Amino acid sequence: GAVVSQHPSRVICKSGTSVKIECRSLDFQATTMFWYRQFPKKSLMLMATSNEGSKATYEQGVEKDKFLINHASLTLSTLTVTSAHPEDSSFYICSAADRDTEAFFGQGTRLTVV
Amino acid sequence: QKEVEQNSGPLSVPEGAIASLNCTYSDRGSQSFFWYRQYSGKSPELIMFIYSNGDKEDGRFTAQLNKASQYVSLLIRDSQPSDSATYLCAVMSGGSNYKLTFGKGTLLTVNP
């Protein structure tokens, strides 16, 4: 299947700082990227959908000013968790798709805010 | 509200047996259906997708879709301990935006 690379895989940050997570499609052009959050032993919760060159569409209850999403190119989307707090600690996963492929997931990022 | 329901399990089967995982969905407009496997602490990986009513086989895996009953299942033949994981059912609604709605997953344990 297609390769989606997510970086970093793990990050620990101090409360109040910001963290950027990158999601890259390595061998296809991702017209759409999705960002999910997953709590332990829970299913994936869609946070937002981003299309290249346009603003992300956030799901209800997700703070767009806290979770900044940029999809500047067909191969890169970033999620920035701003002013992180311990309750933001979670597993964040991106997935990428174009019109001719299924959505493939990145490896995920384990964020711990201390 | 579009929903995807799965039995959370755990589902335990002996090695070599057939594991049957089930999923129902509420949106009749759903067009595409996916099964993902997720190991603890890892990201989901795609196992199979199915678009049409009936069965689709890939190796030890068979996906079954019944749109009239709004039901999709995954059968794993000759289950192996390495198949032990959480299996997520995902449904894509009509349109081309690949937005998936996930079930909560079924934890499968294959006992040696």
Is A34 close to B43, i.e. CB distance below 8 A?
no
Give the C-alpha separation, B85 to B87, whole Å.
Answer: 6
Averaged over A33-61, what is the pLDDT? 88
B-chain residues within 8 Å CB-CB of A105?
36, 43-46
Is A105 close to B34, i.e. CB distance below 8 A?
no
Rg (CA), chain A: 13
Give the C-alpha separation, A49 to A33, whole Å.
Answer: 6
- Let me know: does B87 contact B108? Beta carbons within 8 Å: yes
Is B100 close to A103, i.e. CB distance below 8 A?
yes
Give the C-alpha separation, B91 to B98, whole Å.
Answer: 9
Q: Which residues pair with B75 in a beta bridge?
A: B20, B62
Averaged over B90-96, what is the pLDDT? 72
Q: Which residues does A46 contact at the CB level (< 8 Å), separation at least 6?
A: A34, A35, A36, A59, B99, B100, B101, B102
A7 shares contact with chain B (CB less than 8 Å):
no
User: In terms of CA atoms, which chain B residue is nearest residue A106?
Assistant: B43
Whether residue A88 is predicted with pLDDT greater than 80 in this model: the reply is yes
- pLDDT tens digits for range B2-20: 689 998 889 999 999 999 9
- Provide the b/e sequence for B52-66 (b: ≥16 CB within 10 Å): eeeeeeeeebbbbbe
Q: Which residues does A55 contact at the CB level (< 8 Å), separation at least 6?
A: none
Give the C-alpha separation, B18 to B20, whole Å.
Answer: 6
Give the C-alpha separation, A84 to A67, whole Å.
Answer: 10
Q: What pLDDT band is residue A104 in, cutting at 50, 70 and 90? A: confident
